[in-house]
Structure 1
Amino acid sequence: MDLVLDGLTVATDGRNLVHELSLEVPSGQVVGLVGPNGSGKSTALRCVYRALRPTSGAVLLGGEDLAGLSPRHGARLVAAMTQDGAVDLDFTVEEVVALGRIPHGRGNRPLTGRERELCERAMERLDIVHLAGRGILHLSGGERQRVLLARALVQEPRILVLDEPTNHLDVRHQVELLSLLRELGLTVLVVLHDLNLAAAVCDRIGVLSRGRLAKSGTPWNVLTPETVAGVFGVEVTVVPHPLSGSPQLLYSLPSERPTP
């Protein structure tokens, strides 16, 4: 299922946080949103998982306006892992993961055998089986990130929306998570701060600057020295990764720049 942000605008207090953002996320592809702090990345994502209502424009799922779908039906199509990942009650890890089945059930019915297997597989994929009986409030930030992603996978969405999913993760789990995104076959829209991680995992990248789409395309077309300097204000040298061939950015510190 494809996802389209169609002229999305979000305004508050007379200021546009996102301005006429149009971006396509083709079915089965991983598309990244990058940009400086305050550029509108998380705001755009909140419109996709319905935490915000856009001032104008639309979010289209398979050509259908998200605003016209019931909350339950929308939750069966879109799963989100947000940046804060706030959980107020100290549920166990296995209870939190099982919450992903709520859009598919009615009342307090117990999980079916298939649903229990689905939860177990998700916990195995995210390396959290050993945490199953632990309270989520007692986990580290990285452990909690993996629990919340497992919950999203158990939801069996067609579209996965992730806001800084590598936040708090160690290097091993960052690599494993990004590899998982490539293997899932889902339509994925992900916000990443690390441009090298974005280049490694994303089929396409959209660069936001002050709420507007500055550039979009493949990593090689987007992550150029000119774009990075213009949007992020840093100088980079772009080289191919020796194994994957994806672009890798080498940052220049001010002290390393040649004097004119």
Structure 2
Amino acid sequence: MDLRLDGLTVTIDGADLVRDLSLDVADGAVVGLIGPNGSGKSTALRCVYRALRPTHGTVWIGGDDLAGLGRRDGARRVAALTQQGGSDLDFTVEEVVALGRAPHKHGNEPLTAREHELCRRAMERLDLLHLAGRGVLSLSGGERQRVLVARALVQEPRVLVLDEPTNHLDVRHQIELLAMLRGADLTVLVVLHDLNLAAAVCDRLGVLSGGRLVAAGPPADVLTEALVRDVFGVAATVVPHPLSGAPQLLYTVTDTTPEGTPR
């Protein structure tokens, strides 16, 4: 199911956090949003999972205006992993994962055998089966992050949006999670801060700066030394990965003053 952001503008307290953002995510594609802190990435995602209503513009999903869909229908199409997705309630891992079925259930309707198996497979996929009976408040940050990804998969969405999903994950689980996104047969819009991981996993990248889309396209076209310097304010050499050919950034670390000028 394709996703299209069409002229999104989000204005809060007189400030345009996102300005006239248009971006297409093709059915089954993985598209990454990258940019410095405060560039509007998370704000754009919030419009897709309906935590924010855009001031102007439309989110189209499968040709339908997302704002016109009922909450249950919208939740069956879009699942989200947010930066504030935790809970203060000490549910077990398997209970949290099962909450992903809520858009498909009515009241306290019990899970079917198929749904129990769906939850088991999601926990297995995210290396969580051995933690199924543990309370989530006893888990590490990375383990909780994997629980929330499993919950999103159990929702069986057509579109998955993730805001910095590799936060708190060790290298192994970062790679496994991103590989899972590639093979999940879902339309994925993901915010990533690690540009090398973004280049490795995403079909296309959208670069935001000051709330505006300043570049979009395949990683090899977008991640140039000039763009990284102009948007992120750092010096980097771009080289192809020796196996995949994906662009990889080698950063130059310099000693600078608070104003950003070399000493």
Q: Normalised by the size of structure 2, how large is the TM-score? A: 0.96
Residue 51 of structure 1 corresponds to 51
5 Å-filtered alignment, 1:75-114, equals: 75-114=75-114
Q: Give the aligned residue type for 1:109.
A: E
5 Å-filtered alignment, 1:1-260, equals: 1-254=1-254
Percent identity between matched residues is 75
Instruction: Provide the secondary structure at the position in 2 that maps to 1:91.
Output: coil
- Structure-1 separation of matches of 2:82 and 2:207: 19
Give 5+ residue unaligned stretches, structure 1.
Answer: none
Q: Give the aligned residue type for 2:199.
A: A
Q: Give the aligned residue type for 1:40.
A: G
Q: Deviations over 1:216-242 (max 9, x none)?
A: 000001000011111000111110101
Instruction: Provide the secondary structure at the position in 2 that maps to 1:169.
Output: coil
Q: Give the aligned residue type for 1:44.
A: A
- Structure-1 separation of matches of 2:250 and 2:84: 29
How far the C-alpha of 1:86 sits from its partner, in A, is 2.0
How far the C-alpha of 1:185 sits from its partner, in A, is 1.1
How far the C-alpha of 1:84 sits from its partner, in A, is 2.4
CA RMSD of the aligned region, Å? 1.1
Q: Give the aligned residue type for 2:222.
A: V
- Structure-2 separation of matches of 1:144 and 1:105: 24
Give 5+ residue unaligned stretches, structure 2.
Answer: 256-261
- Structure-1 separation of matches of 2:138 and 2:42: 26
The total of aligned residue pairs comes to 257
- Structure-1 separation of matches of 2:87 and 2:51: 16
- Structure-1 separation of matches of 2:125 and 2:86: 22
- Structure-1 separation of matches of 2:236 and 2:22: 27
Q: Which runs of 4+ in 1 moved over 6 A?
A: none
- Structure-1 separation of matches of 2:130 and 2:146: 12
- Structure-2 separation of matches of 1:44 and 1:188: 14
How far the C-alpha of 1:138 sits from its partner, in A, is 1.2
Q: Normalised by the size of structure 1, how large is the TM-score? A: 0.97
